[in-house]
A and B are shown apart, each in its own frame.
Chain A
């Protein structure tokens, strides 16, 4: 409970979570969490990965049934209702709206259809679109969140899709809006626009719970901050009294220093792309006339909003995408046909963007995943037979050196947490001392400790003399790791000398650099 002395004006309560507890097997994902939300405030929910933020919100929204605890909502008159647990419909009826981190839109339907989806009776004879439009245009006018109602969602930009998601919740008369990492895919400018609109609605009485990893957003946008760690609430404070270090202390339990960057010393060129074009890849742009040289001993950061060619770029360096024109050379050798095997043998280590999908075979053991890229090496096989003892030794060494924690080297790697899976992949990539390392979103979804481990390893590899390409949507990460910064927009790579968020943000949105 918030003590009255900490806030000047106590606004009326609108939502109260009491003693929310959820176990998953032996793991306590949420341990008796109390959380209050007042009318007309933005509450930021912060915590490392696995701290229980999403579990808590899923219990609020009825997607999980809590083991203990209850959700209380209050109407305008202060009348209290306890929501039945495990029923999303009850949450919707209580006017709680949730915007998930991953969009839940039907790409082939229009914006209007997407918003109306689920609000109309299945068997109603006539669709009352006129009143729906009226309500929506009023909503858009009041909130400042606009979207073209008759355009199909697949033709929208990411920022527009985000607005549609929020409009969808507002159309259902949400009084409480839960935003799960809403800016993960937005440019800084798009994020600012979204925050401004939401701020206006909050002033009109909307209440918002806002989950984020980005501290500067939380400090700029929220009224109050609640911090979770290991399923417990470890702190709650007004944003105006908070600063970065005090928040991080609550999140990780100790003072934490982000690794500080010492500028790398570039040496000989390792990778050269000359006028490379590719086809579009995975729904994103193809590369257009990309020229790039990466030297040994430097980290080249590629910033940009996803879908602008990053997956074609990463696919190219990984050997999964062929250039249609232009050529790729590694260590002054032009690579004729790019395959993963060829790139591996040329000394390229790859940390894939989607570590579960491309990084590991989750039903195979930790030990097996650690050698999957080196099956032809003499310490892994002899005459086609796997050298089990040597593979196990390798796994014991690597899990110890890279601090990969889990149920053991013979356990399925699916049982590892996200951070430990990433450490497994790092161990596999770095133990071969690659000349070039492609790190695609290497810290996405990792908590502070795991993320700074990854950063330190990349610095180490750079200082040993490897060239590193870092692709990240997190501008903070690029700024803190990269020696050189490139911006990817519309399949083109542009180098920027600036380290200013606004300048880089503009370039990410395709604007001219000033």
Chain B
């Protein structure tokens, strides 16, 4: 018979070491599908490493890939800390990108010092509104925000497609469903010449640090943690639980919206309906890998981005499918969840024996 009992005292080292062990383990486990695909395993790993660390370009590509993940990871992390389940990061990403395109493609023009903060603010605000809706439905009617925020993703994506076929369509786009390009003054500057890495990365790191400070050091962060850990006690202690949910929803949506702005104004320059490679959803995985810690989100984003970029490079070099990246990321998440379970509980197997005197 198997028994599961909680561990009395779990060490800090174990709980923070788990994600790292899980990440390494998942990479090692990737050898199994690689072997099934008939690929030379060591060579495949070599290509993956080279794909990330082989050149400055490769490395900056990885950082570029990590940028939106930091934002969407923070969006999920801060919401989950309050136990507000924002699964709508993907939709909020597009809302942010669409708002940035709306004001940033000639509607207003000005110096970069004005335009960049403006597109960021408008995009963040639009993303925030995207989560505010589900949060209002939750606090007013008790509607499950998992369902509402998730379904909203599809509505928003279809809305984006409609806008790209209509009012936002670039008349010079040769008929492609894409927006006009962002004006030069609203484009996030490149960090290194001839590399795609842009200021959005610095912004993402800064945002993660600010999120850490808010959660750990401010009254607002205190309220978010209290509501997330025990909403009943928080309410009893006079904390406005519903108000906290709404504020967290706004912040979480804004972070996902900033991911959209960063991609459209920093990397692509114009909006298409395939701007996001599932960044909203991957952000949830990043947040879980990070243990919902804002600084952990940075590391988790770098890891996930490395896996994706490395796997792309590997698949180009030896012809295995780049879906292997999705597999590794999924396995990492499973390893982290299992690892977290074993860190918190003891499994004991009792021997079945009957002795009669």
Binding site for B on A (CB under 8 A): 24-27, 65, 80-82, 84-87, 90, 318-320, 339-341, 344, 350, 352, 357-364, 368, 372-373, 375-376, 380-381, 384-386, 388, 415
Contact = CB atoms under 8 A, between A and B. Distances in A.
Contacts of B1: 86-87
B188 to A, nearest CB: 29
B31 interface: no
A427 to B, nearest CB: 14
Nearest to A428: B237
B230 A362 contact: yes
A124 B77 CA distance: 50
A449 to B, nearest CB: 24
A372 B235 contact: no
Contacts, number: 92
B219 A372 contact: no
Contacts of B357: 80-82
A385 B240 CA distance: 18
A340 B350 contact: no
A408 B339 CA distance: 28
Top 3 A-B pairs ranked by shortest CB distance? A25-B8, A341-B238, A340-B238
Contacts of A81: 356-357
Nearest to A373: B237
B355 A340 contact: no
Given A84-B354, A368-B222, A381-B219, A358 B232 contact: yes
From A87, A90, A339, A364, name the one whose CB has the most chain B CB atoms within 10 angstroms. A364
B223 A375 contact: yes
Given A84-B353, A86-B350, 7 more contacts: A86-B3, A339-B238, A361-B229, A362-B229, A372-B222, A375-B222, A384-B218
A335 B232 CA distance: 22
B218 A386 contact: yes
A90 B350 CA distance: 14
B11 interface: no
A121 to B, nearest CB: 21
Task: Categorize the interface residue count of chain B.
Answer: 20 to 34
A443 B239 CA distance: 26
A361 B218 CA distance: 17
A340 B354 CA distance: 56
Contacts of B229: 361-364
Contacts of A364: 225-226, 229
Contacts of B222: 368, 372, 375, 386
A361 B234 contact: yes
Contacts of B240: 341
Contact of A384 (B220, B226, B235, B350): B220
B175 to A, nearest CB: 52
Interface in B273-296: none
B236 A375 contact: no
Contacts of A350: 236
B9 interface: yes
A145 to B, nearest CB: 33
Contacts of B356: 81-82
Contact of A82 (B8, B218, B225, B355): B355
B355 A385 contact: no
A361 B233 contact: yes
A71 B233 CA distance: 42
Interface in B226-282: 226, 229-230, 232-240
A363 B240 CA distance: 19
A84 B352 contact: yes
B32 interface: no
Contacts of B223: 375
Contacts of B225: 361, 364
17 contacts: A24-B8, A80-B357, A82-B356, A84-B352, A86-B350, A320-B236, A339-B238, A340-B238, A341-B238, A352-B236, A364-B225, A372-B233, A372-B234, A384-B219, A385-B219, A386-B222, A388-B217
A352 B219 CA distance: 23
B348 to A, nearest CB: 8
A388 B238 CA distance: 20
Contacts of B239: 372, 375
A63 to B, nearest CB: 10
A507 B44 CA distance: 81
Contact of B232 (A25, A65, A357, A415): A357
A363 B3 CA distance: 25
Contacts of A386: 217-219, 222
A90 B352 CA distance: 11
A26 B232 CA distance: 32
Nearest to A368: B222
A354 to B, nearest CB: 8
B353 to A, nearest CB: 6
Contacts of A86: 1, 3, 350
Contact of B233 (A80, A359, A385): A359
Contacts of A87: 1, 350, 352
